[in-house]
Structures are given as structure tokens and as C-alpha cells.
Structure 1
Amino acid sequence: MNRRPTRLAVLTLTAAAALTLSACGSDDGSKGRDSDRIAGADTEDKASPSTGPSEPGTTGRPKIYLPSDVTYEFQWKKTGDAPKDAVLHDAEQRIRAVDMAIAKQDPLDKGYRFYSEGAAAAESQKYIKEFVDHKARTTGLTRYYNESLTIRDDGTAALVYCEDQSKAFNKFLKTGKTDVTPVTKDSYVVYAGTLRKNDKGVWVTERLISQRGSAKCQP
């Protein structure tokens, strides 16, 4: 029987895909880690470097590698304002880094923790572990759009954006099965985040809330 946790209320989530896990007993019953991940992945799931935007001049940024079937369409517009564009870049890298941690089945992966701190990092860890517990990862295309960004007087940034999960799904590592779910209004999620520039010059996400089925994000 499928188990589908419902996430319709505003939740403290930081996961890139925010996919609702559904697992059949035959899909998540194995113990131990499967080879269907970045480390030691087979040809089908061969990891490839993330094709995100060029990185700002901050040293020590983690390389982000993702399975070839994990793709994105970021429709965030360049603002022409250097600080705002840096915020958007680092928010995008956090999204990719969380999916990388899911693919690696590592709730403590350094990648997403480079781009998040505090409550956001803690909630990401919980979310990634949920995929690990189900021996699943993300697959498909996720679209990000309809963003709004403000840098406040206190130096923090407020970022709101939409996520289209209609072509993004869960893939179970033991069987290789993709859980293709129907598209509904809940396939569209709105996020509201708070970011702060740390001493490394990175805009880290400190808090992120989400809501499924938001009218703001419907096609």
C-alpha cells in the first residue's frame, strides 16, 4: 500500500524537490545502501557535474554532481544587481546540493550544509534522511519560477519562489522503479526563505517554509 504523507500546510522544509514520498513494501524493504547513487553509480545513473550558473568568486565551493536524470529549469531572471544575483545563485546551488545529498544517500553531505545553516540545515538533514530511509532519490525535471527577492536593511535577503514538480518524481534504488504520480494543484509549491551572507561571502539559507497548492504558483 502506498504511504503518502500530506504536506499542504505551511511547513519548515528546505528540500530541493519537496517531493512527497510514497513507498510500497516491495520498494523500500531492503536493508543497506543501494548502488543507485552518485558514488559507484552505474551507467544509467552516472553522475555528471551540475550545469548551474558560473559561481561568484568564493573559494571552497563544493562541486555538485548529480545523476543525469536529475535536471532543472531555473527561470529566475538576472537582476543586473550583483548582490541580488549572488543570492539567486546561492539559492539555486542549495537546491542542487540537497538533491546531490539525496542521490548520495548522505544526510550529512557537506554540499548542502555549505549553503544552509541553522533551522534550514536541520530540516534539510531530516528531509534527506527520509529519502534514505525509503531508499529513494529524486528524478526528472523540476522547474523554478515566479521569484521575488528583497535585500533588507539588516543585510538579510527574503526570497519567494515557485516550484513545479509536475515532471519530478521519486525513484526507488532497489528496484529502479519511478513513482510517476498524477499532476494536481499540489504539484506546485511556493517557498519563502531567509538568507544571510556569511563570512565566506556565501548567501546561506537560514529559514525556508513551503506550501503546496498555492494559487501563486498554479500554471
Structure 2
Amino acid sequence: MNRPARLAAAVLTASMAVLTTACGSGGGDSSAAPIKGSDAGDGKTSAVPSASASPGGVKRPEIKLSPDFRADFENWTNSDATLQAILNDGREELRSKYAAIIEADPESKAVAFYNSDATRATARRWIRQFTDDGDSIIGRVRVFDPQVRLGDTGSGVLFYCVDEREASTKNRKTNKVVKTPDKPESLVQYRLRLDKSSQGVWKTTSLTTVPGACS
């Protein structure tokens, strides 16, 4: 996505291949072909549970988005409990970054909670591209077509698409709004690998974004 509208495909430099503008070296299973037969769900937008409803007894951070911005997760359900847990934590990883942009907080504890050492620094650099320019985000993104499975090593593999065409950046001082271009590149595929921590949290350990892959 062209600056300054750059929700996901911002200009990024990733030493460990996370959050890249094109198809970076995500490593492991995260760069594999799209996953088939992943039990996507019933087609409805999934509700987002509160922190108090977190599974497994782990206290997860509460993530709130501004009323001016929505992230709608469609078909975000799976009949397998482990795969559902991966979906849940993958969803919250993305929401934590949106919330950090809105709150102008690159050091967000929620971002740190859902990211490993390998991805945390790059996630924060992405957030700072907004906060350094004084920008927040408004509008709506649609997060859809989740494909999830367990890899041969026990890592979670999660692919999903984000449609950013109804979202915009808004400058905090000038109130200038820049809309996301209505182009195929504004539909971005995310490819994640997640590993389960000792606390039972599926942390993102690699992430690649591919603009236009979902068009």
C-alpha cells in the first residue's frame, strides 16, 4: 500500500522476515501454500471475548479499539479446540497492533504479550510509522478466510486475509484523512507461524504479509 495509507503493507525492513511489504521469508510452515479443509466456520462475524473470558486461566490483556475503527473477523471459528485457540491468539495479535496505533503506544504490553522476541521489534517499528507521523486509523477492516492447522513441528500455521479498503489514516493534529486505495494490493494475506508458550499462549513467531494475494 502506498504511503500514507499503509495499514498492513507499510514500508518495512525486517531482519527476521516479519511484517514485510511483499512475500518475505517467514520461515517454517508459514510460507507454505494456502491451507485446505480448515473448517472455517458458519460464515458469521465472530464475537471477540473479553480478557476475563480468556481460555486456559491465563490473564490476557484487554484490548479495546476506538469507536472510530472496527476490525470485523469473519468465520473465525473452528470445531477443534487447539485450532480455535490459535485463531483466538492470532486475532488478538492483530487487534493489539491496531489498538497500539490508535493509542499511540508502540511499547504496548498487549503487542509484547502476543509476539515473540523475533516479531516484537518489527511490530513496534510498524506501529511507529503511524505514531511518528501523528496518525491514527479510522474506518473498518474485514479479516476473513482464516486457514489454520498444526504444522509437523507442533507450531500453529495461520493464514488470513485483511481487506483494508474501507479504512483510512487520520492525523491527530490536522484531522487530515487519507483513504486506503481501492486496489487489489489493499487486500493483504497474512501468513503466521505461532508457537505455544509455557503459559499456554500461542505467540506469533514469524509473520509475512503479501499484498494482493487475496484479490
Q: Same fold (TM over 0.5)?
A: yes
C-alpha contact (below 8 Å) 1:8/1:212 kept by paired residues: no
Q: Which amino acid aligns with 1:191?
A: Y
1:211 match: 210
1:52 match: 48
Report which of the two structures shows the higher radius of gyration computed on alpha carbons.
1
* Aligned equivalents of 2:18, 2:165: Cα separation in 1: 19
* Aligned equivalents of 2:72, 2:3: Cα separation in 1: 29
- Counting only pairs closer than 5 Å after superposition, residues 188-203 of structure 1 correspond to structure 2 as 188-203=187-202
Measured against aligned partners, the alpha-carbon deviations of 1:137-162 in whole angstroms (never above 9, x if no partner) come to 11111111112111123221111111
1:90 equivalent in alignment to 2:86: no
- Counting only pairs closer than 5 Å after superposition, residues 131-170 of structure 1 correspond to structure 2 as 131-170=130-169
Quickly say closer, same or farther: Cα 1:67–1:77, change in 2 above 3 A. Answer: closer
Q: Which amino acid aligns with 1:171?
A: K
RMSD value over aligned CA atoms? 2.5
* Aligned equivalents of 1:124, 1:10: Cα separation in 2: 11
User: Unaligned stretches of 5+ in structure 1?
Assistant: 19-50
Quickly say closer, same or farther: Cα 1:84–1:199, change in 2 above 3 A. Answer: same
- Could you say what secondary structure the match of 1:160 adopts? strand
Q: Give, in angstroms, the shift of residue 177 of structure 1.
A: 2.3
TM-score, normalised relative to structure 2: 0.76
C-alpha contact (below 8 Å) 2:10/2:126 kept by paired residues: no
* Aligned equivalents of 2:13, 2:76: Cα separation in 1: 26
Q: Give, in angstroms, the shift of residue 182 of structure 1.
A: 3.1
User: Unaligned stretches of 5+ in structure 2?
Assistant: 22-46
1:184 match: 183
* Aligned equivalents of 1:208, 1:75: Cα separation in 2: 20
Q: What percent of counterpart residues are identical?
A: 31
Quickly say closer, same or farther: Cα 1:102–1:3, change in 2 above 3 A. Answer: closer
How many corresponding residue pairs? 181
* Aligned equivalents of 1:102, 1:93: Cα separation in 2: 14
2:31 match: none
Q: Give, in angstroms, the shift of residue 10 of structure 1.
A: 11
Q: Which amino acid aligns with 2:189?
A: V
TM-score, normalised relative to structure 1: 0.75
Q: Give, in angstroms, the shift of residue 7 of structure 1.
A: 5.5
Measured against aligned partners, the alpha-carbon deviations of 1:2-27 in whole angstroms (never above 9, x if no partner) come to 95587699974449xx8xxxxxxxxx
* Aligned equivalents of 1:8, 1:137: Cα separation in 2: 17
